[in-house]
Structure 1
Amino acid sequence: MSASYTTLIGAAELAQRIRDPDWVVFDCRFDLTNPDFGLQAYLGAHVPGSFFLDLETDLSAPKTGRNGRHPLPDPAKLAARLEACGVSHHTQVIAYDDANGMFAARLWWLLRWLGHNRVAVLDGGLQAWCRAGQALDSALPEARPATYTLALRPNRVDADFVLGRLNQPRMTLIDARSPDRFRGENEVLDPVGGHIPGAINRFFRDNLQPDGCFKQASILREEFGTLLGGRSPRQVVHQCGSGVTACVNVLAMESAGLSGSLLYAGSWSEWCADPQRPVATGQA
């Protein structure tokens, strides 16, 4: 078996293996304001051989009004969907999007949750692929059914876990939303503005260079090290609005060698759905 990619992969490296039968690529493009965008863009042109996964129908479960805007999908259903595209335990999975990795990182995190290590995000996304002069096509790939056995990992926490550790040194809560939404300003996606008390803000885009690729691992390690102030990465809980962009912060930490952080998947949209949970506004 060839070397595994477990965080990021460059366009040149992917191009060299794009026809490898043990590699499966997924197009995760999505637009929060236009749910049909991703599939239509995929049908128009995509990385050759890639399959499409939809954030809301494949990578999330149905909403109840209390479980956030993008609840985690049923693991067995997701595994079956991946199997249908040829993913087995030895498969190298690559995810990409055109939105700074925010949707591709969701699939990356979900596969790690399912127990799959050989998964990486295309650094710089579709834009980096095109800048490298690589081709796109519109042909739909043939399914290559495989078998995948679940081995769920305890890399997620729920609202009660967070509530029981608010403002305690045993949990460092990092919010990946933009600074204005963190402060409770300009909230357009959720009915309540603000953040979970004690959270610190690390906008997911702060992990990126101007070209949309991730910063060097050494830079990310330094920046997160400053943010953590000596606290263990394993005490970190990531959240955002709905458990999507927080995965970019998880990915950034892992690529920097800061392993073991957790995800509060329900995030702000679940948290604020219960009026009994405390809310903070302004700067942390």
Structure 2
Amino acid sequence: MHTTLISAADLKQLLNAATPVQVYDCSADLMNPATGRAQYEAEHIPGACFVGLDEHLSDKTSPDRASGGRHPLPSRERFATWLGRTGLTSSHTQVVVYDRQNANYCGRLWWMLKWCGHDNVAVLDGGWAAWQSLGASVENGAGPTLAAEAPAYPLSTARATMVDTTTIAQRLGNPGLTLIDARAAARFRGEVEPLDPVAGHIPGALNRPFTENIGPDGRFKPAAQLRAEFEQLLAGRDLASVVHHCGSGVSAIPNLLAMEVAGLGRTALYPGSWSEWCNTPGVPCAVG
């Protein structure tokens, strides 16, 4: 069972052994929404299903969505219905997710599956480039057709924790809350803001850009190195107090995943993130 990362070699072995594996390609580009599907249709892992950040991992219209911000989470029930249509109907199935953007987008699906109670999900370490480096087979085209109707994925107790804006606001300044912001340093400081109406960060937050989890080879850094870096960042703060966020709850996940890879446990996510916080009347914002 793979629950955090899986190597390309291990994935290839599972596929060759005809082990039940569900693979999802989550490639995306915030600035050009058509890019992800184009990359997928050009080449993807055989049998992989395409997952769109806006179409499948967000819900901007339904009244029952689970969070706010630029990429609101769908309800668990609505997401489980879509998972069933992709063919995922058993909690025992090994799921592997990948992208071409340093686990920025596939991490979202990894976390959402944990949130739905599915623990057997892993991020392909090194993503698409790692698969290519094996010289393994690839497919092109539109990929599998989703079933018009299918049993929904069987939801169970959430294995991931989310925190909302009200809770963050109530705990702000309390030692029981440690916020880690995964955005680039210039956005965190408020020097630039290409996506949201207000620049800056939540007061008291620590900054660790999600790209710092990835080594020169495109894979996550070794567990010991990640542990040392997070321990230096946290400087003795309680691990149980950690809540990750970013601009819209997407690029925060690599930090959350990296802490788990480092053996520091599964920490919480603020899915609304800065895009929800900076649009909430009365909450403080900081720069610098």
- Could you tell me the TM-score, scaled by structure 1's length? 0.93
Provide the C-alpha distance between the structure 2 equivalents of 1:25 and 1:202, rounded to a whole number of angstroms. 29
Q: Give the unaligned 5+ runs of structure 1.
A: none
Equivalent positions of 1:1-284 (< 5 A) are 4-19=1-16, 20-62=18-60, 67-87=68-88, 88-138=90-140, 140-141=143-144, 148-153=153-158, 155-282=161-288
Percent identity between matched residues is 49
Contact 2:81 2:151 in 1 (8 A): no
Aligned-pair CA distance for 1:229: 1.8
Contact 1:85 1:146 in 2 (8 A): no
Change in 2 beyond 3 A, CA 1:142/1:34: closer
Provide the C-alpha distance between the structure 1 equivalents of 2:218 and 2:171, rounded to a whole number of angstroms. 34
Provide the C-alpha distance between the structure 2 equivalents of 1:24 and 1:51, rounded to a whole number of angstroms. 8
Aligned-pair CA distance for 1:143: 5.7
Aligned-pair CA distance for 1:194: 0.1
Q: Give the unaligned 5+ runs of structure 2.
A: none
Provide the C-alpha distance between the structure 2 equivalents of 1:146 and 1:45, rounded to a whole number of angstroms. 29
Aligned-pair CA distance for 1:211: 2.1
Provide the C-alpha distance between the structure 1 equivalents of 2:167 and 2:218, rounded to a whole number of angstroms. 33
Root mean square deviation, CA, Å: 1.7
Please give the per-residue CA displacement for 1:49-83, whole angstroms capped at 9, x wherever unaligned: 1001100110011169x921101112112111111
Secondary structure of the equivalent of 2:168? helix
Change in 2 beyond 3 A, CA 1:10/1:33: same
Aligned-pair CA distance for 1:161: 0.8
Please give the per-residue CA displacement for 1:9-48, whole angstroms capped at 9, x wherever unaligned: 1110111112535210000011101111111221221111
